[in-house]
Amino acid sequence: MDKVLQFLQELSKNNNREWFNDNKKRYNECKEKIMFLTDVLINEIGEFDSAVRGVSPKDCIFRIFRDVRFSKDKVPYKTNFGSFIARGGRKSVYPGYYFHIEPNQSFVGGGIYMPQAEPLRAIRNYMAENAPEFKTIINDDDFKKVFPEMYDHQLKTAPKGFAKDHEFIELLRYKSFVFSNTIDNKSITSEDFLEQTVNTFKQLQKVNTFLNEALAN
């Protein structure tokens, strides 16, 4: 992964089409490495989460090209590689497993980020009845070592349909149910990076199973 980090580091300093086109071969080589890593992770995750079995790596990897149509920032390329491994790939409405490779800003994690109104309502309704189970999962000692806290993305007040003094209002206010763990550059290039990533994802499996059950109700 050294070459991937090096390419992204240089891209961040030369984020223009001319440089990118001159280094297109390097980009394609890096993309192939990320594609291979994604494929391996799909197979590894599939051993403990059947929901991702058969997912295509190309459906999981995010494009490096930025959509600048409605952005003031016209920089054409992202300076990271990322894959969201879930049923349906990166555009999935279901929870999944994500890895993000970017010099000094890499992380692995997952869950469900900013679901639409209907699935979010389903999760909240399920959470209202099953919060003790969810709290047991995220407060487990092994889980806490990897994911100390949930991504802080909450409403300032109670969501529609729920009382402000609901017993589990602190969970019902969340708009995303996401966890992440940062990774330094040294870890990314280490021989046990894959093993560490798989072990991290194993801790997320119960969370994603809970969220999938919520969406199924």
pLDDT tens track for 82-99 = 999 999 999 999 999 999
pLDDT of 70: 74
CA-to-CA distance for 217 and 122, rounded, in angstroms? 7
pLDDT of 152: 83
Contact indicator for 92, 130 with CB cutoff of 8 Å: no
When computed from its CA atoms, the radius of gyration of the chain, rounded to whole angstroms, is: 19
The predicted model gives 7-20 an average pLDDT of 96
pLDDT band at 192 (very low <50, low <70, confident <90, very high): very high
Contact indicator for 33, 57 with CB cutoff of 8 Å: no
CA-to-CA distance for 97 and 52, rounded, in angstroms? 9
Task: Give the domain range for residue 206.
Answer: 2-216
pLDDT band at 217 (very low <50, low <70, confident <90, very high): confident
Would the pLDDT of 7 be above 80? Answer: yes
Q: Provide DSSP, 100-138.
A: EE-TT-EEEEEEE-S--HHHHHHHHHHHHHHHHHHHHHH
CATH number at residue 94: 3.30.930.20
pLDDT band at 109 (very low <50, low <70, confident <90, very high): very high
pLDDT band at 29 (very low <50, low <70, confident <90, very high): very high
The predicted model gives 165-193 an average pLDDT of 94
pLDDT band at 52 (very low <50, low <70, confident <90, very high): very high
Would the pLDDT of 6 be above 90? Answer: yes
Question: Based on the structure, what is the number of domains in the chain?
Answer: 1
The predicted model gives 153-176 an average pLDDT of 93
* Mean pLDDT over each residue of the chain, to the nearest integer: 94
Give me the torsion for CA of 182, 184, 189, 194, rounded to 10°: -20
